[in-house]
Amino acid sequence: MVVTDPDVLGGYRQDRAFDPDAGTALALVRPTATEQVAAVVTWAHEHRVPVVPRGAGTGLSGGATAQDGALLLSTERMRAITVDPVTRTAVVQPGLLNAEVKRAVAEQGLWYPPDPSSFEICSIGGNAATNAGGLCCVKYGVTTDYVLGMEVVLADGTVVRLGGPRLKDSAGLSLTKLFVGSEGTLGVITELTLRLLPAQPPQSTVVATFPTMTAATEAILAITGALRPSMLEFMDSVSINAVEDELRMGLDRNAAGLLVARSDAPGEHAGHEADIMLAACEKAGATEAFRTDDPEEGEAFCAARRFAIPALERKGPLLLEDVGVPLPRLGDLITGIADIAERRQVLVSVIAHAGDGNTHPLIVHDPNNADETARAHLAFGEIMALAIGLGGTITGEHGVGRLKKAWLPDQVGPEVMALTRRIKDALDPYGILNPGAVV
């Protein structure tokens, strides 16, 4: 079970944050059962060896970056799932991919909503550890809204079960919710009980391009003020062109921004809502606006949006942001990001889960150009500072990990950091769980 081969370890050294400061781990373990996780953590606790838990390694904040002398604990081989259509819940092990969970529950006519762009390659355990979001969150909420219970291995190896397949449970502290989003710093999640919904109805889709960012943000606010779209995504000019370079789907390369908006209201109501969104885009000054009730055609536009990050990655290494603001400040955030990009002379492409104010500014830079890389990192920090100043968050759905840790105190303040530290120390007194992440 224990792997020490440096070649294998190398493949587990980083997640998709590609932290250049990743350390060299002691060993890798890939347990298949909770008891093995408990045995590993008990041993690590006794010997004060750090443990870095990881799922599929697709994290974007460096939460799974290897540390010197640490045990890497990958949950990739814990892949069981049981679906109960009567309670509309699924019990899943953490190593299953989000897409595999979606497919397994779909076989029973059910739906697990949270849908990070990386849903085909990210693990459900990692989703819970980061409180991952996605495209449908604007209407359906984030991972924590779907976690009813879990099994978790604590820092001393104790296994506890929290919550269960019950929509309502006020018995004791809300510990399940505390572990969601704790990024492996409080325990290792070995099983999740997920709330499911009936299959999503077919969606109607609106795609619109805008000549200016102002027009696009006006359309966003008009849409969210009128109804609750099941998706409302934004791509800027740079990302439109990057996607078009790869997919050749006929996107307008001259547009300043593109919106993809969807409705999954029942029956013909999806079309009615799409009409309202189409009219809002036209009123805001869309150069082109297009509506389809064809699910396949709609899916193609969503695929374009999901493909934005991979397409931009082909242009060069990215520093990937995840800042969010209250919706009315979205325009200020986007304008402010453009100012930062200009001041620091770096290319910043903005894509966004526009409907919930969560944006992904992507800072493109050449790692062989030390000066540009330095300016990119300055912009990275300044964008977070900007979001904080607008009443926002440094991370909407990726987590703090190691990459964003230095900015967390600026967002939450010293009292909340002290409170966080008290909980961390109470649950992991020797600090063996994912040291260096979050706190």
**Footprint of a second copy on 208-237 (CB under 8 A):** 221, 224-225, 227-228
Residues 2, 8, 374, 416: which binds a second copy (CB under 8 A)? 416
CB of 300 to a second copy, least distance (A): 25
Is position 98 an interface residue for a second copy (rule: CB under 8 A)?
A: no
Q: Which is nearer to a second copy, 189 or 364 (CB)?
A: 189
Q: How far is the CB of 373 from a second copy (least distance, A)?
A: 25
Q: Which CB sits closer to a second copy, 143 or 205?
A: 143
DSSP label of 201 = P
- Are 328 and 357 contacting, i.e. CB atoms less than 8 angstroms apart? no
The yes or no reply on residue 69 touching a second copy (CB under 8 A) is no
Which residues touch 47 (CB under 8 Å, ≥6 apart)? none
Q: Between residues 20 and 172, which has the closer beta carbon with respect to a second copy? A: 172
Residue 360 interacting with a second copy (CB under 8 A): no
Q: In whole angstroms, how close is the CB of 132 to a second copy at the nearest point?
A: 8
- Is 81 a binding residue for a second copy by CB under 8 A? The answer is no
**Crossing angle of the two packed helices 370-389 and 330-344, in degrees rounded to 10:** 160
Query: Quick one: tokens of 249?
Result: 């789907």
What is the distance in angstroms between the CA of the first residue and the CA of the last residue of the chain? 30
Residues in binding contact with a second copy, number by CB under 8 A:
88
The least distance separating a second copy from the CB of residue 164, rounded to whole angstroms, comes to: 7
Residue choice 70, 235, 325, 348 for contact with a second copy (CB under 8 A): 325
User: Closest distance between a second copy and the C-beta of residue 251, in Å?
Assistant: 26
Non-local CB neighbours of 4 within 8 Å, separated by 6+ positions = 26, 27, 28
Give yes or no for residue 413 binding a second copy (CB under 8 A).
yes
Q: Which is nearer to a second copy, 336 or 357 (CB)?
A: 357
Q: Do residues 29 and 72 touch, judged by C-beta distance below 8 A?
A: yes
Burial 234-251 (b: 16+ CB within 10 A, else e): bbbbbbbbbbbeeeeeeb
Rounded CA gap, 404 and 402, in Å? 6
Report whether 62 contacts 17 (CB < 8 A).
Answer: yes
Helix (H) or strand (E) holding 320: strand 318-320
Q: Rule CB under 8 A: choose which of 51, 180, 235, 433 binds a second copy.
A: 180
Minimal distance, residue 325 CB to a second copy, in Å: 7
Among 142, 223, 240, 289, binds a second copy (CB under 8 A): 142
Among 169, 244, 275, 382, binds a second copy (CB under 8 A): 169
Q: Which of 85, 331, 389, 435 binds a second copy (CB under 8 A)?
A: 85
- Comparing CB distances to a second copy, the nearer of 221 and 247 is 221
Among 8, 197, 199, 249, binds a second copy (CB under 8 A): 197
Torsion on CA atoms 93, 99, 100, 105, rounded to nearest 10: 90
Across the beta sheet with 27-29, what order do the strands follow? 2-3, 27-29, 71-74, 51-54
Q: Does 284 bind a second copy (CB under 8 A)?
A: no
Render the burial of 83-113: b for 16+ CB within 10 Å, e for the rest.
Answer: beeeebbbbbbbbbbbbbbbebbeeeebbbb
154 touches a second copy by CB under 8 A: yes
Residue of 102, 353, 375, 402 interacting with a second copy (CB under 8 A): 353
Q: Measure the CA dihedral 376/382/384/386, to 10°.
A: -140
Beta strand 27-29 with 71-74 is: parallel
Of the two residues 11 and 391, which places its CB atom closer to a second copy in the complex? 391
